[in-house]
Structure formats: structure tokens, C-alpha cells
Amino acid sequence: MATPTRGDGAWLLWLCASRTSFALIFTAYAAAIPLLKPDWGMSAGQAGMIQSAWHFGYLFSLVAVGFLADRYGAKRVFLVSSIASSISAMVFALFAESFVSGVILYGLTGLFSGGSYTPGLTLIAERFQSGSRGRAMGFYLAAASAGYALALVLTGALTPLIGWRGAFIVNAAGPVLGTLLALYALRGTPNVVHPRSAEHAAEKPVGVILANKPAMLVTWAYTFHSWEMLGMKAWMPAFLSAAAAYSTGSSATASASLGAGLAAIAYIGSMGGSVTGGWLSDRMGRTWTMMVLATISACCSLALGWLIGLPLWLLVAICAFYSFTAVGDSSVFSTAVTELVPPRHIGAAYSVRSVLGFGAGAIAPWVFGLVLDAAGAAEASPVLTWGLAWCSLGVIALMSPIATWRLRQMPESRQMANGKR
């Protein structure tokens, strides 16, 4: 069980700063999609496939690091993965030059990026008690959102000056900084390994998790949530770029830069959502928070694309609210897992969740792009094109609050948030 430690706040601050730095490389590509499509001769489906390659790589990474963290300790896995992430991000920034190289190198970047996610959550679970764990994880995920927003700002500001590759290189320096910050943050943190007793030696962790119905309901709710959230993160900058062009008639470069900046503003909402969602779940309960936020975000997704013609300031405000709700329950899902499985199986539980959640999230950007291509081929209006694309996320997202409601009916749900479910 986690026990309070002096300096928890400073420790979390340094770990969050590391997470922010690692996140820079993720949205740099999303911000540049409007320019990379013509430069690399890609369709919208191919552009989405590169983003999907990152998610598939991330998926395999999370599966591996979950089991490795159980076996060798979360701290050790976190630090080794951080070094690999730094190298792969810079290789992508320097050498990606086409659809094929983009798929391969961005996929490898995702493959080495998962080590700063679930092992980081495990480190927080080991350090913070249940009553404050949701808030702590909320700050950690908000730190990632801060990195996503900063990457959009950097890419939007630097691309007109030094081109998209120069902007990529600047963002790729983020994981290098993140590794240095992680080494400092974790210098006094023990590498905890949860050995299995003779009683549990024959257990098959994946089988244990699959048989744990409450944990699987959280996992399914997270899967439908990930479909929406990762699709949103992949395409919101391009959507706001299209909205800017639709409203102002500006050039491709100007629209891409403006869209990235507007998306960065919207991402500020996700920062607030992560912290607020974690705080609410500590006070009101995990399932209540997940159901409310997931329902609202799904409704936002179903409506967003049809609103492309709104004034930009109003559209950005709606996107910020959407980001707030779509990301706000992420930390709650992560916290709930730690309260529904034994500590020795947390890594395995995160691995199972990653296969389903990031598997769905990896497909979503590609499907979104296919819808854009199909609507474009039919010469549909921008309103219909983007409306249908965003609906492809929202329809699936509606399944998340349903799974969470089923969890709430189970007596095991009272294991969460000190009995608040």
C-alpha cells in the first residue's frame, strides 16, 4: 500500500515536467498534416494511417512495458524506455520524407514512447494513497496535455520560419529533455518489484485480468473512450486548419499555422479536464465521473463537425470544452484499474487495457481519414465532410458510459475511491 512521503509534491512536479517533454513529439505530426499531405503526396486516409502507425507502436510498447514493469520494476523500465524514445523521436524528425518512411519511423517512435506512460502511472500508484491518487494521476495526464499544446504552438510558430522538418527537430528534443528530468525526478525513488508468492506463482496474469469482470468493464469503457480521444487528438489541428481556411480563405501554410495555434488553445481545456476529472473522482466517485464526462464528450463529437462554419473564436471554445470532457476521464480510468486488481497484476492490467484501448485508438484516425476521403470523393460540402468524420468517433464513444454504468451496479465498484464507487 502507498504511504505518504515527504516531498511528494516536488517529486510529482518533476515527473510531470518529464511527461510534458516526452509528449512534444506526438502532436507535432498532427499539426503538420495539412502541409505534409501535398509534400508527401498523401490522401487523408494515408495521413491518418501514419498517426495510426504511432498508436500501433505505442500499443505494443504498452503491452511490453506493463509486463516488464511487473517483472523488473516500473522505475527501471521507465528510464530505459526514455532513452529509446529520445533516439527514435530524433530519427523520425531527421529522416521521415514520405508516406512509407513516415509510417515506419513514426511507428517506431510510438513503439518506444509507451515507457513514460503506464510505468509512470504505476510509480504514482506506488507513491500515493487512494484518496489522493486520482488527483495525482490527473496532474500527470494534464502534463501530457501541456506537452501536446506546447508542440502545437512550437510547430505552428516555427513552420513558417524553418519549415516543418525544423519544427519536428525542435519537438524531438523534448524526449531528450524528458529523459534528463526523469533521471533527476527518480534519483531517490526505489525500484519496486512485486514478487509473486508461492501461492500465486502458477498464476497467469492475463488470465486473471480477463476473468476479473469489474476490471474488464473499466477496460472496455476505456477502449471506447480511446477510440474517440485518440481520433480527436489526431485530427483536431487539421479540422481547425480547415475551419480557418473555410472562414478566412487563407493559404495552406497560414491555415496550418493558425490551426495548430487554435488547437493548442483547445488543448488547454484537456489540461484542466485531467486535473478536474481526477479531483472529482476522488470526491464524487470514479464511475459517476466517468459516466458524466464520457457522455458529454461523445455528444460533443457527434456535433463538432457540423459546426465548422461557426466564428473561429466560438469553435475554439467548443473544442476546448470538448477536450476538457474527452480527456477528463482518462486519469479516472487509470486510477480505477489500480483499485480493482492486486498490486502484483497492475502492469498486466495496464497491458490488457492497452491492447484494447490503443488498438481501437490506432484504428480511429485511419477511419476518420477514410471518411474524409469518401466524402471528398463525393464532392460533399465541408460541413457534411467533417460532420460525418467526427460522428465516426462519437457513435463508438457512446458505448463508454454504458460499460461504466454496468460497472457501477457491481458490488466490487465500492473498492474504488474509498467506497465512493
For residue 341, give the DSSP letter.
S
Q: Which pLDDT belongs to residue 398?
A: 92
**CB within 8 A of 197, min separation 6: which ones?**
none
CB atoms within 10 A of CB 37: 19
Alpha-carbon gap, residue 284 to 210, rounded angstroms: 28
Question: Quick check: 243 and 377 in contact, CB under 8 A?
Answer: no
Task: Measure Cα distances from 202 to 15, 146, 192, 208, 398 in Å.
Answer: 35, 42, 21, 11, 38
Q: Which pLDDT belongs to residue 303?
A: 94
Alpha-carbon gap, residue 28 to 93, rounded angstroms: 10
Query: Whose grid coordinates read 467506497?
Result: 419
**CB within 8 A of 22, min separation 6: which ones?**
82, 85, 113, 116, 144, 147, 174, 175, 178
Alpha-carbon gap, residue 296 to 225, rounded angstroms: 12
9-189+208-419 folds as Growth Hormone; Chain: A; (1.20.1250)
The reported pTM is 0.73
List the domain boundaries for the chain: 9-189+208-419
Alpha-carbon gap, residue 186 to 73, rounded angstroms: 13
Q: Which pLDDT belongs to residue 45?
A: 83
Question: Quick check: 368 and 33 in contact, CB under 8 A?
Answer: no
Mean pLDDT by 10-residue block, N- to C-terminus, for the chain (421 residues)?
A: 60 90 86 87 87 84 77 86 91 93 92 81 80 77 84 87 92 93 88 63 70 84 90 86 78 75 80 75 80 91 92 90 85 79 75 82 86 80 90 92 84 64 61
Q: Which pLDDT belongs to residue 3?
A: 45
For residue 356, which amino acid is it?
L
CA angle 327, 53, 218 (to 5 degrees): 40
